[in-house]
Every structure is written in C-alpha cells, then in structure tokens.
Structure 1
Amino acid sequence: MRYHKIYPAAICFCAYLVAIGVILGEPRQILPGLWKIIMTEDALITDYVKIAGIGAAFVNAALVTLISLGILRLSKDPLNGYTLVEIGLMAGFALFGKNIANIWPIIGGTFLYAKLRREEFGKYASVSLLATALSPVVSYVALDNGWGNIWWAILIGAVIGFVLPPLSAYTYKIQNGMNLYNMGFACGLLATILVPVMTSLGADPTVAHHWATGYNVQLGIFLSILCVGLIIAGFLFSGRPVWAAWAGYRRLLLTTGRAPSDYLRMFGAAPTLINIGVNGLIGMAFILATGGDLNGPTLGGIFTIMGFSAFGKHARNIIPIMAGVVLGGVFMHWSINDSAVQLALLFGTTLAPISGYFGWPFGVLAGFLHSSVVLRAGTPVEGFNLYNNGFSGGLLAIVIYPVISEAIRHRKPELQNEDYFDAFEHDAPVIPPPISKK
C-alpha cells in the first residue's frame, strides 16, 4: 500500500493523453485512425501521428497504458519505481509501434510461461509488457498477405512471450547494470534469430519510415505543462516540506543510476517526481535545440526517459550521454537531425549508468559511440525490435564495462540487488549506500 497512489496518478496521465488527442486532433477521425493503426505493419519507424493522426495516436497510447495498468493490477504486480518505467515505456511506444491489438499474443505467451512454471503471473507481468518490444513481428505476420496470417501471428507472438522471461533474466546479468534497457538487448538477441528464420521461410520484411513534422509548438506546450506539473507536485503535494524535497533531489543526483536503482524506494515520491519532470524538460530541450521534431517517436523517447527517471536516470548522468550523441553529429557523416539520430539522442540514455559510475567523460564517449552503433544495430532485425537502442546499448555496455573497469579505472561496482530492489518486498524505503569518493 506504500505506493497505492500510482494507479490514480497513472489514470490521470491517461486522461491527459486523451485530452491531447482530442484537443490537437480531429475527434471524428479517432476511431478510423485506431483501425488504421491496428491494420498497419509497425516496423521502425512507424509514427502513428503521421499515419493515423495525432488524435488516434494519443488515444491509442492512453488505451495501451490503461491495459498495462489493468494487467499489473489484476496480476498483483508489486508497485515500485519500475512500475513508473512500465507506464512510461508502454505510453511512449504506443505512439510508434505498440497498439491495442498486437501486444496481446506476447503477453499471453508470458502468461503461459508462468503457468508452466506453476508461478504467479505477477512475477512476470512486467516482463510481459516490456516484451511487447517485438509486437511489430505480430503485426507483420498477421497482416502480410503473402506470407502470414493471424493464427501464425498469435503463435509466434506467444513463442516470443514465452522465451523472453528466461532470456532477459540471463542478459540482465551480463550487462553489469550499465544498460538500463535490458529487455531491448534481450529482444534484439531473439530478433537476430527470429528474423533470419522467418526470411528463410519466405518472409520479406522491410523497414519503414513514417515521421511526422510540424507539431513542435503544440506538443511542446502540452509536454511542458506535464513536466512542470510533476515538478510542482514533487515540491508541494508529496507530503514533504519543500526543503526536504529539494534535499532529496540533490541526493538523488549523486547516485550512479546503475540498475537496479529504484528511486521511489530510495528517496520517496517528492524527489522522484521532481526528477521525472526535470528529465522530461531536458529531453525536449535537446530535441528542440538540435532542430529535431516532436512527434510520436521522439515523444515516446521522452516518455521513456521520464519513466526511467524513477529507476536510474537523472540530469547528471543523461546529459553527458546526450552530449556525446550531439558530438557524433559534428564528426560523423550523418546529421543530428536524422530521425534515427534523434531517437539515439533520447534512447541512448540507456547508458546513463556508465556516465554516473565512471564519470561524465566516459558518458560522453559512450554516447558518441552509441550514436553510430545504433544506426547499424537494427539492420539484421529489419526494424522489428522497437527497443533497438537497448540492443545497441547492451552491446556497448558489454564491451565498454570491462575495458573501463579493468584497464582504465580499475573500479568494479558491487552487486546491488539486495541493497536496492526486491521484486516482492516494497513495504519499506531503502537507505541508499554512501556515495563513493573515488
């Protein structure tokens, strides 16, 4: 019951998404737009704002988020900081890839996995939601008239949902907590096997590029209202004095962000809300300052940053990563305004723990490398892994971590699972360990 206010707050967030869709879009086009979203293959990059209109895109995001909340509630998934991650991810990617139809087979596959192991589904509910990163596979198989059908789509989706719980548990261990998007790495590995097999059986998937422009002012206003509102709520409506909320936020900024870092347990609601709002504004500022576009995919990236602001990301460890991506735009043979690079600018913050633990110069280096690696990491999977930056981040984390810790800094973090996060015990706050002066 410690975090019982998450559900009503999340429902208010869904209502805000619907309001954005109704105000900025055409209400009469919402239902036809939702049908168009369902009937579209969703390989990266498929911006629902572009193909179906801003109204349908945001209503889809609200509905997917409500479905996710219902699954978490019915499965009795323990509430914690990672719950906010799930809300941010599902809302964000429901603007470009996940919809109210293509997520179900994967969730069902994870449900079958839990039943086969004779365990409660609540233990795997969060995995089932995040595994929907491969929901474009379901859409492709169901809608490609020359190859698949809806029954094959359900079967393949169920296999994906069944395989990812054990796979993601393993990939979590080998990244040393330096890649926050662990499921993106696991989905990328699975997709590198699944896509070639599908191709050998006659499938011919292709990447997509649907990218909306011209919404910077409208979406910037609504996003600013949301972020400022969260900051105000953190300072004034979280049951703590303003000075205590500010002190908690300043202490939060001293953490490394290495996974798992449940800020809601470690610092409480006030600093976490402030952190979410500040990071949302930072993400939007980088997009606008570099001449980017606020649309479905970039807003999805900002929502993801905001979600992970309860679980590892803060201003001090994401800005160096983003600066590294911008630096890549100066020296590499691509433009910072390219759509894939704009997404790398936001989703590349999956490597924030490298910056937080080893220092900002290594964060800049990680962002610089990520800006190029991510442009090729999705090629073998034909855009089917929505968490492509998580796959790229995992590859970099596996390479960068031993090099820095063994050859350069001689610093190896200790496992934090017992200190920070336990999936079934959330009734008491966790006292963060002292910040190292090394």
Structure 2
Amino acid sequence: MRYHKIYPAAICFACYLTAIGLILGDPATILPGLWKIILTEDALITDYIQIAGIGAAFVNAALVVLISLGILHLSKDPLNGFTLVEIGLMAGFALFGKNIANIWPIIGGTFLYAKVRREEFGKYASVSLLATALSPVVSYVALDNGWGNIWWAILIGAVIGFVLPPMSAYTYKIQNGMNLYNMGFACGLLATILVPVMTSLGANPTVAHHWATGYNAQLGICLGVLCVGLIVVGLFFSGRPAWAAWAGYRRLLLTTGRAPSDYLRMLGAPATLISMGINGLIGMGFILATGGDLNGPTIGGIFTIMGFSGFGKHARNIIPIMLGVVLGSFCMHWHINDSGVQLALLFGTTLAPISGYFGWPFGILAGFLHSSVVLRAGTPVEGFNLYNNGFSGGLLAIVLYPIITEAIRHRKPELQDVDYFDNFERDNPTVPPPIGGEEEEEF
C-alpha cells in the first residue's frame, strides 16, 4: 500500500483529460467521434484529433486510462514506478492508435496465457497493457471488409497477447537495459513475421498519415498547466520540505536510467513528480522550438516521456538524445518538423540509458542514428507497431552496446534481471549516494 495514492492521482489525470476534451472540443461531437475512432484502422500515423476531433480524442484517452487502472487494480498488480509508465503509455497512445475497443483482444490473450501457465494474471497485467502496441492489427483485421472480420480480429489479437509475454522477457535480455521500450522491440519483431503472413493470405495493409495542426496554443497551455502542477506538488505538497524534494531530484539526475530503474522506489514521489513535470516541459519545448505541432501523436510522445520519468528518463539523459535528432536535421534529407522526425525527437528518448551510462556524446550519437533508422524501421510492418521507435531503439541498442563497451571496456555493465530492490522488500528503497557535502534525507 506504499504507493496507494497512484490510483486517485491517475483518476484525477483521467478527469483532467476529460476536461480538456470537453473544454476544447464540442461535447456534442464526442460520442460520434468515439464511434469514428473505433471504426478507424489505426496504422501509424492516425491522429485521433485529426479524424474525430479534440473532444473525442481526449475522452478516449481518459477512458483507456480508466480501463488500464481497472485492470491493474483487479489483477492486484504491484504499484511502483513502472505503473507510471503504463499510465503514460496508455494515455499517450490512446490519442493515436489505441481505443476502448481494439485493446481488449490482446489483453484477453495475455489473460489466457496466464491461465495456461496457471499463474496469477497480475504477473502479466503490465505486459498485457503494453502489448496493445499491436492493437492496429486488431482494428485492421476487424474493419477490412475485403479480408478480415471481427472474429478473426479477436483471434489474432488473442494470439498476439498470448505470445508477447515470453517474447518480451527474452528481448529484454539481449538489449542490456539500454532500450527502455523493450515491448516496442518485441512487438516489432512479432510484426515483422505477422504482417508478411497476413499479406501472403491476401491482406493489403497500408500506412496512414493523419496529422492535426493548429492546436499549439490550446494544447500548450493545457500541457504546461499539467507539468507545472506536477512540479509544484512535488516541491510543496508531497509531505517533505521543498529543499529535500529538490535534493532528491538532484540525486535522480545522477542515475544512468539503465533499465530497470524504478525512481519511485529509489527516490520517492517528490523527486519523481518534479522530474515528470520538468521532462514534460522539455519535450514540449523541443517540439515548439523546432517548429513542430502539438497534436495527438506528439502529446502522446510527451505523455510517454513523463511516464518513463518514473522509470529511467530524466533531463540529463534525454536532452543529448534530442540534440542528436536535431543535429541530424542539418545533414540529412529530411526536416526536423517532419511528422516522423517529431516523433523520433520525443520517442527516441527510449535510448536515454546510452546517454546516461556512457555519457552525453554517445547520447547525441544514438539520437543522430535513431532519427534516420526509425524512419525506415516501420516499413516492413506497415505501421502496425505503435511503438516503432522502441523497435528502432532496440536495433540500435543491440548494435551500439558491444561497440561502445569494446571501446570503453571499464564501462561494461552486467545485465540486471531485477531492479534496485529486493522483490520481497518492496517498501525498502535503496538510497543512492548523496551529492557531495549534503546529508542524506530519510526515505
């Protein structure tokens, strides 16, 4: 029960998303918009704001968050920093790809996997939510009248949910904790097999490009209020003095971010909340400074960064990655404000551990390479993997890790199967070393 406040906080977040939808959109269009979202094939990039309106998009995000919370609660999934990841991911991608209908077959498949294994579903609840990265497959099969139907969609979704738990457990081991979006890599590998098989059976999937513009002012204000609110709560309303909360955040900045790094357990809620707010402002700042757009996909990317602020990302290890993407725009044959590059700018922070562990020059290199690799990584899977940057990040992590460790032999980490905490002592976090000269606060 140490982190029981996550549930009411997440419900407040869902209410805030609903309020955004009701205030910025027309309430009369929300229900028709939700229906349109359900009936849309969701291959990348399908911005729900563009196809159904801002009201329906944010209400869909709120409902997906509530569904996710219900699954986590009923399955008794332990609350920790990764819970923040799940909330951020589900809220973010519910703005461009996941909806209240297409996530269920995959979740059901993972539930079936747990039952076949005779294990509690709570062990795999988080996997079931993250596996919905392939929910566009469910939508395509259900809605393509020339090939699939709803029953095939349920079956294929269940198969996806059934096979991803063992796949993701294996792919985690081969990335050495350097790619935070491990499920994106696993989903990408599965999709590279699934999509060719589907096309051989007669399917003809195509990528999409629905991209909303003109919402920078409205969404910037809403996102800014959320981020500043998190910082204020972390500093002044978290049960600790502001100086102690800020000291915890400074300690957080000294970590590498290598997966798994549960900041909620390591440093507590104050430092994590401050980091979430600051990282959200950084993500929004990079988008606006480079002439990008605040819309469903980019807000989804920022929500993802904020979620992973509790599990590996912080200002010091994400900024070099982003700078690497910006650097690429000066010599590559694409522009920094292209839609795919804007997403690479945000989701490329999956490689933050490379920056945190090996140093900022390698972070810039990783971002530079990622900005080009990700633009082609999704081609074989026809946009069916929503975590395309996770797939690209996994490829780069596998390539860069052995090269860097051979060049810098004394920086070769050993793979961790668990995070910094004993599984049987969930409420006893390990305190990182203090910053020079400061006394350690009690956690």
CA distance in 1, matches of 2:182, 2:337: 27
Contact 2:184–2:391 under 8 Å retained in 1 = yes
Aligned to 2:378: 378
CA distance in 2, matches of 1:415, 1:197: 34
Aligned to 1:420: 420
Aligned to 1:242: 242
CA distance in 1, matches of 2:176, 2:237: 36
Q: For residue 4 of structure 1, give the secondary structure of its aligned residue in structure 2.
A: coil
Q: Map 1:164-313 to 2 at 5 A.
A: 164-313=164-313
Aligned to 1:133: 133
Contact 1:230–1:274 under 8 Å retained in 2 = yes
CA distance in 1, matches of 2:146, 2:421: 47
Residue 186 of structure 1 deviates from its aligned partner by: 0.1
Q: Map 1:22-101 to 2 at 5 A.
A: 22-101=22-101
Contact 1:78–1:426 under 8 Å retained in 2 = no
Q: Map 1:4-15 to 2 at 5 A.
A: 4-15=4-15
Aligned to 1:349: 349
Aligned to 1:142: 142
Contact 1:127–1:165 under 8 Å retained in 2 = yes
CA distance in 2, matches of 1:112, 1:418: 25
2:103 is the alignment partner of 1:103 = yes
Instruction: Write the deviation string for residues 177-228 of structure 1: whole angstroms up to 9, x where unpaired.
Output: 0000000000000000000000000000000000000000000000000000
Q: 1:418/1:64 Cα in 2 relative to 1: closer, same or farther (>3 Å)?
A: closer
Aligned to 2:438: none
Aligned to 2:440: none
CA distance in 2, matches of 1:353, 1:332: 25
Contact 1:419–1:432 under 8 Å retained in 2 = no
Aligned to 1:160: 160
Q: 1:424/1:130 Cα in 2 relative to 1: closer, same or farther (>3 Å)?
A: farther
CA distance in 1, matches of 2:223, 2:15: 14
When structure 1 is superposed on structure 2, of 320-329 and 409-418 the one drifting more is 409-418
CA distance in 2, matches of 1:415, 1:3: 27
Residue 409 of structure 1 deviates from its aligned partner by: 4.8
Residue 429 of structure 1 deviates from its aligned partner by: 1.9
CA distance in 2, matches of 1:211, 1:419: 38
- Residue type at the aligned position of 2:206: T
2:330 is the alignment partner of 1:359 = no
RMSD: 1.2
CA distance in 1, matches of 2:424, 2:169: 16
CA distance in 2, matches of 1:318, 1:418: 23
Residue 430 of structure 1 deviates from its aligned partner by: 2.5
Q: For residue 326 of structure 1, give the secondary structure of its aligned residue in structure 2.
A: helix
Q: For residue 99 of structure 1, give the secondary structure of its aligned residue in structure 2.
A: coil
Q: For residue 272 of structure 2, give the secondary structure of its aligned residue in structure 1.
A: helix
CA distance in 2, matches of 1:423, 1:80: 12
CA distance in 1, matches of 2:423, 2:302: 26
CA distance in 1, matches of 2:59, 2:39: 16
Instruction: Write the deviation string for residues 330-367 of structure 1: whole angstroms up to 9, x where unpaired.
Output: 11000001000000000000000000000000000000
CA distance in 2, matches of 1:169, 1:141: 27
Instruction: Write the deviation string for residues 248-287 of structure 1: whole angstroms up to 9, x where unpaired.
Output: 0001000000000000000000000000000000000000
Aligned to 1:116: 116
CA distance in 2, matches of 1:187, 1:56: 27
Contact 2:421–2:429 under 8 Å retained in 1 = no
When structure 1 is superposed on structure 2, of 410-419 and 192-201 the one drifting more is 410-419
Aligned to 2:151: 151
- Residue type at the aligned position of 1:229: G
Contact 1:78–1:423 under 8 Å retained in 2 = no
CA distance in 2, matches of 1:422, 1:385: 33
Q: For residue 411 of structure 2, give the secondary structure of its aligned residue in structure 1.
A: coil
Contact 2:105–2:158 under 8 Å retained in 1 = yes
CA distance in 2, matches of 1:394, 1:424: 30
Q: 1:28/1:169 Cα in 2 relative to 1: closer, same or farther (>3 Å)?
A: same
Residue 420 of structure 1 deviates from its aligned partner by: 1.4
CA distance in 2, matches of 1:237, 1:428: 22
Q: For residue 179 of structure 2, give the secondary structure of its aligned residue in structure 1.
A: coil
Aligned to 2:325: 325
Unaligned runs of 5+ in 1: none
- Residue type at the aligned position of 2:264: L
- Residue type at the aligned position of 2:100: I
The list of structure 1 runs, each at least 4 consecutive aligned residues, that deviate by more than 6 angstroms after superposition, is none
Residue 432 of structure 1 deviates from its aligned partner by: 3.3
CA distance in 1, matches of 2:361, 2:73: 42
Instruction: Write the deviation string for residues 307-329 of structure 1: whole angstroms up to 9, x where unpaired.
Output: 00000000000000000000011
Unaligned runs of 5+ in 2: 436-443
- Residue type at the aligned position of 2:186: A
What TM-score does the superposition give when structure 1 sets the normalisation length? 0.98
What TM-score does the superposition give when structure 2 sets the normalisation length? 0.97
Residue 422 of structure 1 deviates from its aligned partner by: 5.6
Residue 390 of structure 1 deviates from its aligned partner by: 0.1
CA distance in 2, matches of 1:119, 1:215: 46
Counting aligned pairs with the same residue, the percent is: 88
- Residue type at the aligned position of 2:393: G
- Residue type at the aligned position of 2:380: P
Q: For residue 420 of structure 1, give the secondary structure of its aligned residue in structure 2.
A: coil
